[in-house]
């Protein structure tokens, strides 16, 4: 378009166009071309501004993405550390349990395992101040007398939840 305007201007300046009608048309075209060029420049400017603001937004979003990614990485690392700790703890508890289980008579261990399965993971409970700590029910006088009468190596059970009762000095007997 600029070339066309320049060519028109050249023709005008050269004096080759002599007819007043042609001269007028040529001048009109030059004015109209200048106006269109101005409009197009405005459009280009607007597009550039929009491109710049889009670029800023991309930069901002990239920054946020990186920060979120860093947080996610950090959380993953902490989770892995916690998981490793828990695995270690579980392994040590498992070994400890194995050791204790080895010292318990086979039939008692079998009973305990059965009860544990039936009673939500707790097969034995402490008798504490006349109360079974498995079901939290206080033993009645008859039950207490039975426990009192039982020898130290007798396996006593809670009449309510059937768990093995573990007697201690704080059992309230």
Assess 132 for contact with Zn ion (CB under 5 A).
yes
Interface with Zn ion (CB under 5 A), residue from 135, 144, 166, 173: 135
Which span sits near Zn ion by CB under 5 A: 50-58, 71-79, 111-119, 132-140?
Answer: 132-140
Comparison of 11 and 130: residue with beta carbon closer to Zn ion: 130
Mark 137-166 with x for binding to Zn ion (rule: CB under 5 A) and - for no binding. ---------------------x-xx-----
Is residue 150 a contact partner of residue 107, using CB atoms and an 8 Å limit? no
From 68-76, 106-114, 134-142, 144-152, span contacting Zn ion (CB under 5 A) = 134-142
27 binds Zn ion (CB under 5 A): no
Report how far apart, in Å, the C-alpha atoms of 111 and of each of 52, 106, 128 are.
77, 9, 21
Nearer to Zn ion, 8 or 158 (CB): 158
Cβ–Cβ under 8 Å, residues 119 and 134:
yes
Q: What is the Cα–Cα distance from 16 to 12, expressed in whole angstroms?
A: 7
Q: How many residues bind Zn ion (CB under 5 A)?
A: 6
Residue 122 sits in the site that holds Zn ion (CB under 5 A): no
Give the one residue of 123, 134, 139, 147 binding Zn ion; rule: CB under 5 A: 134
Min separation Cβ 164 and Zn ion, Å: 10
* Minimum CB–partner distance for residue 102 and Zn ion (Å): 27
Residues that bind Zn ion (CB under 5 A): 132, 134-135, 158, 160-161
């Amino acid at each position: 378009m600029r070339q066309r305007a320049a060519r028109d201007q050249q023709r005008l300046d050269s004096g080759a166009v002599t007819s007043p009608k042609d001269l007028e048309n040529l001048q009109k075209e030059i004015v109209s071309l200048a106006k269109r060029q101005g409009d197009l420049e405005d459009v280009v400017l607007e597009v550039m501004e929009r491109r710049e603001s889009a670029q800023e937004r991309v930069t901002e979003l990239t920054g946020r993405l990186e920060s979120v990614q860093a947080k996610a990485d950090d959380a993953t690392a902490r989770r892995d550390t916690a998981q490793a700790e828990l695995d270690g703890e579980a392994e040590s508890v498992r070994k400890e349990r194995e050791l204790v289980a080895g010292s318990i008579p086979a039939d008692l261990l079998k009973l305990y395992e059965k009860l544990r399965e039936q009673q939500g993971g707790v097969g034995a409970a402490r008798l504490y101040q006349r109360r079974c700590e498995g079901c939290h029910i206080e033993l009645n006088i008859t039950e207490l007398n039975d426990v009192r009468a039982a020898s130290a190596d007798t396996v006593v059970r809670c009449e309510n939840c059937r768990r093995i009762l573990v007697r201690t000095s704080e059992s309230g007997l």
